[in-house]
Structure 1
Amino acid sequence: MLRDSPTKRFRFDYPDMYTNWQDEQRGWTRTATLFDQSHHMTDVYFEGPDVDRLLEETGTNSFKTWAPDKAKHFVACTEEGKMIGTAVLFGLEPNRVNVVGPTATANWLQYRAEKAGYDIEVLRDERTADQPPGGRRRTFRFEIEGPHTPKILEKVNGGPLEQVRFFGMTRFSIGGRPVRALAHTMAGVPGSESMGYEIWGPVEDGKACWQALLEAGEEFGLVLGGALAYYTGGIESGYAAQPTPAIYSSPALKSYREWLPGNGYEGKLSIGGSFCSTDIEDYYVSPYEFGYGHLVKFDHDFVGRDALEELAARPRRKKVWLRWNDEDVKWIYGSSLFDGEKRAKHLETPLARYARVELDVVLSGERQIGVSTLRAYTVNVGCWLSVAFLDEDAAVDGAEVTLVWGEENGGTAKGSVERHVQTEVRATVHTKPLPQR
């Protein structure tokens, strides 16, 4: 069902491009790029005396230093140590947090809060596409990236900003309106000068803050970034999106599946790519297999701890970047346009994404050594690239591998998939982000 999901191509609730995706991509390396994140993520608020206990008993993360004005990349797993999902967790006030992102993680937290007797109230602010008729978001959320970001924010704040570390939270003002922010990046390389801020505040202040940022950024070359540039930027930094929630098969999770809405995130999930199995569990991953082993801490008891302690000692795949061979990419372009029924799967430029979860087979000779996930082209690296997870012995800088592009049997029934034949793409392994041109 998930491989042949009937859902159509996702419609962005903000422009694909404001000018052109090339200049918008270049902005986060040369000047600064401003994105509107107010629409595509769901915010779920948890408030009550048992909030911290719920988080600690559900998440793999350590909560030893947890407090308001802190954030975490929260990871939730099943008892088998397989990932349900990830989300950004914001500590807002004592006993009040916000979980932001695709809804798999927030759904699991809400279910546990309701069914396990936690003293917690839950308030959902669905993404724009899922708002009820006449509804609107509670907050605006912007992202600004690039080397001129500090100058722009100092100008709208009327003075220097507090110095914060990567993934640290801070507060300042935009044209006199108070906002909160998270220091991180969805473009470029974490820790580099392109690192930016995710900024949010009451939706009533959104237009005024947006305009103030535009006016302040004009002298610094600020550009507006649309959806295509936004989603390609994360691939530069190594973002692999979300895993397949490991909730579809376990008898112990039957009540959870019955609690979930049929047309929600899990029910509408689509899986694409050349990796194909008839067993849904072959799509499940542990945090170690998804590059999040550093977010598993055994200083507390949580769902899945026993399984993860066992998995920690096993071999695991390593996250890498794949640089696709230029000549093979050129062939795919030509074949997808001119080879009729024998055409290759089209590479929609700059973001070739046609399913929520995408996994392509990666080979070394005839041996499968891993899977590749999101793929894109950016002008900053000047090539097609993807984020992949490879067996440790294959995750070697400069190693030549082969990626299988396209789906089996002419393609699945997803509305976003045209009829095509599978082909192979040569690629080079990089264990660090690709250098900029």
Structure 2
Amino acid sequence: MSGEDLSGKLFLFQVGGPLALDVIQAATGEDFADLDFIWHRESTIAKPDGSLMNVRVYRLGVAGTLAYEVHGSIDDAPDVYRALQKAGEPSGLVRLGLRAYGLNHTENGFAQSFLHFLPAYTEDPDFLQYLGAEPEEVFAALPGSAGSDPSKPYFTPYELGWGHMITFDHPFVGSEALKSTRTTRGPVTLIWEPTDVVDVYASQFTPGAEAQFMDFAANPIWTGDSTIVFSDDVRVDGELVGISSGRMFSSSYSSMLSLAILDLEHSAEGNRVEITWGDPSTHQMTIRAAVGRYPRLELPKNRDITLSGSAT
């Protein structure tokens, strides 16, 4: 197997939401209602001078509902971006920042590496050498009450809710390990107790009792030249039952949410748990939480949406 490093050569922009199809069709001048989930095809978008830019449109995204990606040459990125913005004006298209990427993943229940779990790339010396990184540099910076133990934010595909995508009709790295895996944990949404969250902020005004600051609306997902994973311990009656990550404030549900990989016996909706907030070396606080709907987002999933002309 071989690959080509396309870093800095291609762009991708995502357009998500119930009116995403209208934006894509306005930008390209083509009917994309027949494009099924996860499929893609080539198209063009016009520059202000009328010349055409080649793009590829994919029906996928992180919005948790209808979404598309537009890919193309990095040289065309500014013009395509402006064209998408203009095409979206009648639909009320809103430009979002980097943190929205993490917010979407937590709200729609799709765990993402470096937001909700730590990839095992540090166990591959050749890949680490390629990156020019050292394991201790990565692990020393792991924030959250779960601490710097890299095994805590490691999860199997089954624990992340991806078991339905695993087939053993072909060889792949890790297949034997997965065959012998017994699933005892699964993904849930945690809804943080508002009064406990407020107490974290209120502690900032009590000298000597300050809890670790809670960034709003979410934990940072990028620092320097790498992404980071905030992982917090989740307990029931003092016993560790899971790991919470991807904390974010949902303006849609007026709630502080996170994803957690929780022991199955505690994962029923409505169950109560406690999250330990703050790095081990800080003044930690306990935040009560309830297991909520998973995924929290109540819009139909992209794969389940049938559009006029679509075979989905």
TM-score, normalized by length of structure 2? 0.82
- For 1:230 and 1:185, locate their aligned partners in 2 and report how far apart those are by CA, in whole Å: 10
Once the two structures are TM-superposed, the CA of residue 267 in structure 1 deviates from its matched residue by: 5.2
- Find the counterpart in structure 2 of residue 408 from structure 1: 280
Matched, 1:310 2:180: yes
Q: 3-state DSSP class of the match of 1:307?
A: helix
Kindly provide the amino acid, as one letter, of the partner of residue 305 in structure 1.
S
Is residue 124 of structure 1 aligned with residue 5 of structure 2?
yes
1:313-332 equivalent positions in 2, closer than 5 A: 314-332=182-200
5+ residue gaps in structure 1? Answer: 1-53, 55-119, 127-136, 411-420
* SS of residue paired to 1:260: helix
AA aligned to 1:404 is T
Verify: 1:245 aligned to 2:107, yes or no: no
2:102 alignment partner, SS class: helix
Change (3 A) 1:153 1:283: closer
Please say if residues 109 and 296 of structure 2, whose CA atoms lie closer than 8 Å, have aligned partners that are also in contact: no
- The partner residue of 1:341 within 202, 208, 215 is 208
| 8 A Cα contact 1:376 1:386, kept in partner | yes
Q: Please give the per-residue CA displacement for 1:293-314, whole angstroms capped at 9, x wherever unaligned.
A: 2332111122221111111xx1
Distance change (3 Å), C-alpha of 1:268 and 1:389: closer
Separation of aligned partners in 2, 1:346 and 1:331: 11
**Distance of 1:282 and 1:234 partners within structure 2:** 20
> Once the 2 structures are TM-superposed, how far is the Cα of residue 266 of structure 1 from its aligned partner?
8.9
- Offset at 1:395? 0.8
Aligned position for 1:432? 294
Matched residue type, 1:184: L
User: 1:153-181 deviations in whole A, cap 9, x for unaligned?
Assistant: 11122131152333232333222423112
Q: Deviations over 1:349-394 (max 9, x none)?
A: 1112366122211111222111111111121121110011111111
Displacement of 1:285 in angstroms is 2.7
In structure 1, how many angstroms separate the alpha carbons of the residues matched to 2:147 and 2:137? 19
1:12-411 matches, within 5 Å, as 54=1, 120=2, 122-126=3-7, 137-175=8-46, 176-187=52-63, 189=64, 192=65, 195-242=66-113, 243-246=117-120, 248=122, 256=126, 259-263=129-133, 268=138, 270-276=141-147, 280-311=150-181, 314-335=182-203, 337-353=204-220, 356-410=228-282
Work out the percentage of aligned pairs sharing the same amino acid. Answer: 28
Q: When the two structures are aligned, how many residues end up with a matched partner?
A: 285
Quick one: distance in 1 between partners of 2:155 and 2:23?
40
User: Does the 8 Å contact 2:108/2:297 carry over to 1?
Assistant: no
Task: Give me the whole-angstrom Cα distance separating, in 2, the residues matched to 1:357 and 1:346.
Answer: 16
Task: Give the aligned partner of residue 4 of structure 1.
Answer: none
Deviation per residue, 1:172-222 (Å, 9 max, x gap)? 3222423112222322x3xx3xx2111110112212211211222112211
Where 1:172 maps in the other structure, the secondary structure is strand
Query: Aligned equivalents of 1:384 and 1:258: distance in 2?
Result: 35
Looking at structure 1, the residues matched to 145 and 277 of structure 2 have their Cα atoms a distance apart, in angstroms, of: 6
Aligned AA for 1:124? D
Q: d(CA) in 1 for partners of 2:237 and 2:168?
A: 38
Gaps of 5+ in 2: 47-51, 222-226, 300-312
- Equivalent residue for 2:49? none
Q: Is the 8 A contact 2:189 2:295 kept in 1?
A: yes
8 Å contact from structure 1 (residues 171, 181) kept in 2: yes
Shift of 1:348: 0.8
**How far is 1:276 from its partner?**
3.0
Amino acid aligned to 1:391: D
Q: CA RMSD in A?
A: 2.5
Contact 1:353 1:375 in 2 (8 A): no
Code of the aligned partner of 2:53: R
Go from structure 1 to structure 2 and tell me whether the alpha carbon gap of 1:163 and 1:352 turns closer, same or farther (over 3 Å shift): same
Q: Secondary structure at the match of 2:242?
A: strand
Native 8 Å contact 1:395 1:431 kept in 2 = no
Tell me if structure 1 keeps the 8 A contact 2:243–2:262.
yes
